[in-house]
Amino acid sequence: MIVKIDLNIKVGGAAGQGLQTTGMALSKTLKKSGFHVFATQYYLSRVRGGHNTFNIRISDSPIAAMTESVDLLLALDSQSIDKHLSEVDDGVVVVDADVVKVNSSSESIFHVPMLKIAKDVCGDKIYSNSVSMGAVIGLLCLDISYLEEILKASFKKKGEEIIQKNISAARAGYDYVKTNYPGGCKFAVSDPGKKEKMMLISGNDAVGLGALAAGVQFLAAYPMTPSTGVMTYVAANADKFNVVVEQAEDEIAALNMVLGASYAGARSMTTTSGGGFALMTEALGLAGITETPIVIFLCQRPGPATGLPTMTEQGDLQFVLTAAQGEFPRCILAPGTPEECFYLTAEAFNIADKYQIPVFVLSDQYLADSLFTSKRFDPSTITVKRYLLSDSELRTKKEKYKRYKLTPLGISPRALPGQKGVLVLSDSDEHDEFGHICEDAENRIKMNDKRMKKMEVLRDEISVAKIYGNPDAAISLIGWGSTYGPLAEVVDILKAQGKSVNLVHFTHIHPIPVEATRKLFSKAKKTVCVENNSTGQFARHLKLETDVKVTETILRYDGEPFSPEFIIAALKEKEVI
């Protein structure tokens, strides 16, 4: 038997074969067993057919990236073997050879008659996925009791009979492995013992949780992969948190609804992806000139047009930076972990309210759909700051209220329509301090300067990028958003090889504090920006904003995320290391 503390499990098959159910149940089981878990999905935009995978990595230490080798492949169709057998290094391929045509004589292939066992034990082939789960747990030398607990929780709404049949099927698969696999199992994976209080959560769910913790009151969106998970998460908890969730008829309506709700005083957000955001750009300009605070969760996927709707990319940064007519301030945050999804989403609402601007939470399919074991978030650290004028402040105000009053910081006092003794005016045309339409040139300059002044104030307050590794390293890898996990692992690998490498990772994308950012690279002899796009959008943004010029770029735009192996191979090819 092979002793391993770092294992990759891949479930392969076609849409409709239960990959997600199987992968989720195994991920939850392995997390419950005490392991750190990281899981990703590769799926095509179709209801049935095509080749999909669910990848699960487990370790006894924190992980946030998927590596390219496979230790255990659960193949639900022949395409999974044809495509991924080469990735299996001294591992095992579990397949029902009675059902799946196997075009290989590899010693790694282990036949488990899942369909026959399901029929014999439960009288129905639909339980074959539970047989496969039991077989996987058996090959890992783990106790099956944790899987049984997960199956009980997963099928509790189906009734006791269904629960017991699934458990019986899983036990039968487990017993088959113990009886028929040489030595009884393949991997001697020892129980970690101490069970940390960790949760298994996706990036999208963490964003939804952050919005709820920040006091979101209204969410309007039109479903669009891969952003929809945030809307459904908030909707599922709307009654508990007194949130109104509206599925709009399209993205144009969605953002305009959010603007109306925010204007009335509700903390409001929308969720979308690139194609949906394209429809929102006119309303974004309305938010800019009316200085209405909004939060936009934009989850990227490869474009242009529909592109690769179920895959990942970081190709919308330049679009978000410049979208809508005219010039007005905006803020862009890009989380890289579930913790950052939670806390940055909450921060986005406070920034929006303070500066009365649109704030983007920019994610992508990789982060949105991946599952991470994470420490429980602490909602008590989140402070809701609305920056609204109270009724008592309005009563004691000596001058007439001006919604767009010129102030040293560019931030005008914000009252809400309907507050006693105050008239709140707003207009999509250029306006004066009271909100009346005004086309005077001098007024235009003052109002435009007022709005843009907020960007410089925010730039001084925004968080600086974080360094992972030795601050004085000779080589600085640069990343933003979801590339954090793979890049941090690259730093660990190269450090163990004696290389002088660190990671400068950006979550606060725009605006960027100039001098503080330049200092981060003062010791680096080489800088390498790693991005999921073809033009180095962040590298260009960094040069434009701070005059930091990167030495090299490593770009990937095939719809798949980075792995540590991919990045290291590229660094060697470019002779950086």
Q: What is the pLDDT of residues 1-56, one digit of tens each?
A: 444 589 999 999 998 899 999 999 999 999 999 999 999 999 888 888 889 999 99
| Residue-level pLDDT at 193 | 64
Q: What is the pLDDT of residues 82-96, one digit of tens each?
A: 999 999 989 999 999
| Residue-level pLDDT at 112 | 98
| Residue-level pLDDT at 1 | 44
Tell me: pLDDT of 207 over 70: yes
| Residue-level pLDDT at 47 | 80
Backbone angles phi, psi at 75, to 5 degrees: -100, 115
| Residue-level pLDDT at 385 | 96
CA 16 to chain centre: 24
Q: What is the pLDDT of residues 278-325, one digit of tens each?
A: 999 999 999 999 999 999 999 999 999 999 999 999 999 999 999 999
Q: What is the pLDDT of residues 380-411, one digit of tens each?
A: 999 999 999 999 998 888 889 999 999 999 99
pLDDT band at 194 (very low <50, low <70, confident <90, very high): low
| Residue-level pLDDT at 521 | 97
d(CA 410, CA 436): 18
Collapsing DSSP to helix, strand or coil, 140 comes out as coil
Helix boundaries (H) for 370-470:
391-396, 441-461
Mean residue pLDDT across the chain: 96
Please report, to the nearest 10 degrees, the dihedral formed by the alpha carbons of residues 371, 376, 381, 386 taken in order: 40
Asked whether 503 and 477 are in contact (CB, 8 A), the reply is: yes
Collapsing DSSP to helix, strand or coil, 34 comes out as coil
Structural domains of the chain, with CATH: 6-180 (3.40.920.10), 200-375 (3.40.50.970), 391-461 (no CATH), 466-574 (3.40.50.920)
% of the chain residues with pLDDT over 70:
99
Output the six-digit token pair for 337.
């972990």
Residue 516 CB neighbour total at 10 angstroms: 15
| Residue-level pLDDT at 201 | 98
Please report, to the nearest 10 degrees, the dihedral formed by the alpha carbons of residues 372, 186, 29, 13 taken in order: 70
Beta bridge partners of 201: 372
Collapsing DSSP to helix, strand or coil, 469 comes out as strand
Strands 268-272 and 88-95: unpaired
- SS3 for 109-167 is EEECCHHHHHHHHHCCHHHHHHHHHHHHHHHCCCCCHHHHHHHHHHCHHHCHHHHHHHH
CA angle 252, 257, 259 (to 5 degrees): 100
Q: What is the pLDDT of residues 114-170, one digit of tens each?
A: 999 999 999 999 999 999 999 999 999 999 999 999 999 999 999 999 999 999 999
Q: Mean pLDDT across the stretch 479-494?
A: 98
Residues 6+ apart with CB under 8 A from 522: none
d(CA 177, CA 66): 27
Q: Mean pLDDT across the stretch 420-446?
A: 96
Asked whether 390 and 382 are in contact (CB, 8 A), the reply is: no
| Residue-level pLDDT at 2 | 46
Tell me: pLDDT of 195 over 80: no
Higher-confidence residue of 238 and 90: namely: 238
Q: Mean pLDDT across the stretch 253-271?
A: 98
| Residue-level pLDDT at 3 | 47
d(CA 299, CA 233): 15
